[in-house]
Structure 1
């Protein structure tokens, strides 16, 4: 009887011991998996320590309570651990100067709107996908077709200026500044009249020219001269006679005074200038170059610059993309907005420091630069990786020690298991 009782006791001891040992092995294996996960996160951070716009991640550990056999009634024991990757997309990286003049760095919560190429079309321009991506990698350069592309191959989007109307668009599209871009004439602010009026003239004399508005659109301006007497003439807008001036000449035939009356009912007197208020915009007409003579040879020119050759692009801190020309002028070709999210850490990470929106991140909110927390732009600069190289190397050592400790648990459990199995042999 004693022998049977002892055998049963040994059996129960072995059963309990084996359950405990196997449970310890499961716990140690989960620890190995968790530390392996941490290794992956740390190695990814370290590998991307020099990657522009990279956001370093951290590893979070969580214990699990399972239905294990060694738990007492009414109690539960934690016998497992799991690791998850925690994104830190909202961390600000250090902004440093770049040799790339078209690079941009964001200081704030915003992201660049970008697209990814899905292939090449027949004319070698990129075929862009419809999936919307967001990135902090602002190391943009022009490709052979004039598109702004970052080092990860994503195409920058913005509001482009319509080449025909000169107005800024309202929908996002890839920004392209081709070398063939045409110079838009600058806005006319001053018209200059020169030449002579025939003092014996009995008919009106036209003085037409071309003026340009703020979008570079041409408009014909036609001023008509009419003789009043030997020393006085009137000059009027051919399309708006209320926009006029009375010009008095001195004994030498030079202009001595100009009294203007515009379409708004405002009058003014000047020695040489005529206040023009009409299409395409208000301008000053300088009449000092007009004299009385024996023939009608008057002409008029605007101060608009009408020609220029494309020389490059420049980026502005307000998000403006400017085309520069050899005449010293630059013109807006696109405007870059920044997009924000309620929870940027819930964005879905993609290849090349890019992200896509998720239900957890919230809907994208497109903002002008430096509004609604989107942040400011620094030109000729990049945002560095947020990897803390020293800190991650220290964490790597800790993870290595934890991994080694878990392997020791597995090794010890194996020895205990062998001893337990030998108890009743």
Structure 2
């Protein structure tokens, strides 16, 4: 009987010991998996230490409580660990100067709005997908079709200027600045009249000119001259039937040159100048210079605007307010698109995609599109990039710690195996 009791006791000891040992193995294996996860995060950070716009991640460890029999105080003990990757997309990377003049770096919480190409259409322009992506990789350059594409192959979106109307759009689309882009005439600010008026004229003399508004749209301004006497003429807007605005009385001296101009605006206010008067209305307010008009024996008077009407595309430039400008060989530049920045309530909950890009999730909150430097979206630095946030020295140190922890867990597995073999041999 004593032998049977001893055998049963050894059996219970063996069962309890085996349960404890197996639990230890389970814990050690979870530790191995957790440290492997940490290795993956650390190696990814180290590999991307030179990747533009990369946001280094960290590893969070969490203990788990399972239903075990080790505790003797009525409470279960923690006997496993799990590791999760913690994104840090809200960390600011260092902004450094780039040799790429079209590169942009964000200092703040915003993201660029980008699209990914799904293939090429028949005319070799990209077929862009509908999935909206967000990125901090602002190393953009023009492709062969004039689109702005970053080093990860994502196409920058913004509000494009309508080529016909010259107005800024209200919906996002891929920004394209082709080399064939046409120069929009600059806004007219001054009209200049030159030539002679026939001192013997008995009928009005028209003086038309083409003027351009801020969008480059053309319109005709027609001023009509009417003789009052040998030294006095009136000039007014030929399309203004009331004659209440854009009219002036011009006095000539004995040599036939303009000596004074007295004008009247729509409010009835008069002003006198030696050579000019103010034109108000469509397409915009301008100054009309009459110093080049003289009295003569024939009507050859004409009028031109100060608008620059032609130019050849020479490249693009980026502005700190998000403006994309087309530059021309005449020294002028014109707005072709405006870049906004998008923010999220919780950017760390964005879903990471290939190429330093992200997609929105229910946890990140809805995307909020903002103008540059508003609502915390941040500022832009041109000709610059945002560097990776990887702390190379720190991550290498953490890698050593993770390696030691991994080795310690393997030691636990090896020791538990030896204990298990000893336990199995207890009643043999």
Aligned 8 A contact 2:53 2:136 in 1? yes
Separation in structure 2 between the aligned mates of residue 318 and residue 266 of structure 1, nearest angstrom: 40
For the aligned residue pairs, the C-alpha RMSD in angstroms reads 0.7
Stretch deviating more after TM superposition (265-274 or 84-93): 265-274
Q: 1:51: Cα distance to partner?
A: 0.3
Deviation by residue 1:391-421 (Cα, 9 ceiling, x = unmatched): 0000000000000000000000000000111
**Whole-Å separation in 2 of the counterparts to 1:264 and 1:302:** 25
Give the TM-score, by structure 1 length.
0.99
- Compare 327-336 and 265-274 and name the one that shifted more: 265-274
Using the alignment, how far apart are the partners of 2:166 and 2:69 within structure 1?
76
Q: Select between 270-279 and 301-310 the one with higher mean Cα deviation.
A: 270-279
- CA drift of 1:70 comes to 2.4
Offset, 1:343? 0.3
| TM superposition shift of 1:279 | 1.1
Higher mean C-alpha deviation, range 235-244 or range 48-57:
235-244
For 1:36 and 1:275, the matched residues in 2 are separated by: 78
* CA distance in structure 1 between the aligned counterparts of 2:313 and 2:214, rounded to whole angstroms: 19
SS in structure 1 opposite 2:260? strand
SS at match of 1:224: strand
1:348 to 326, 347, 351: 351
Q: Is the 8 A contact 2:345 2:365 kept in 1?
A: yes
- Could you list the per-position Cα deviations for residues 95-116 of structure 1 after superposition, in whole angstroms to 9, with x for gaps in the alignment? 0000000000000000000000
Distance, in Å, in 1 between the alignment partners of 2:427 and 2:374 is 77
- Deviating more after overlay: 393-402 vs 60-69: 60-69
Segments of 4+ moved more than 6 angstroms: none
Residue 222 (structure 1) aligns with: 222
Query: Partners in 1 of 2:74 and 2:89 — Cα distance?
Result: 42
Report which stretch shifted further, 386-395 or 238-247. Answer: 238-247
Matches of 2:236 and 2:184, distance apart in 1: 29
Partner of 1:190: 190
1:341: how far off? Answer: 0.3
Could you list the runs of 5+ residues in structure 1 that have no partner in the other structure? none
TM-score (norm 2): 0.98
Alpha-carbon contact 2:326-2:334 (below 8 Å) kept: yes
2: CA distance, partners of 1:136 / 1:365: 16
Task: Give the Å deviation of 1:152.
Answer: 0.3
Q: Secondary structure at the match of 1:10?
A: helix
1:242 match: secondary structure: coil
Q: Is the 8 A contact 2:69 2:76 kept in 1?
A: no
- Distance in 2 separating the partners of 1:346 and 1:239: 62
Structure 1 residues 4-13 or 321-330, which shifts more? 4-13
Quote how far apart the aligned CAs of 1:264 are: 3.3
1:170 is the counterpart of 2:173:
no
Question: Which stretch of structure 1 is more off in the superposition, 263-272 or 212-221?
Answer: 263-272
- Deviation for aligned residue 1:68: 1.3
- 2:313 corresponds to 1:279: no
**Aligned-pair CA distance for 1:66:** 0.1
Range 238-247 or range 340-349, more displaced: 238-247
Post-superposition shift, 1:234? 0.3
Counterpart Cα distance in 1 of 2:167 and 2:325: 14
Cα distance in 1 for partners of 2:4, 2:74 equals 32
Instruction: Render the CA deviation track for 1:19-77: whole Å, top value 9, x for unaligned.
Output: 11000000000000000000000000000000000000000000000011323362111
Query: How far does residue 262 in structure 1 lie from its aligned partner after superposition?
Result: 2.2
Cα deviations by residue, 1:222-259 (Å, 9 ceiling, x for unpaired) = 00000000000000101116320000000010000000
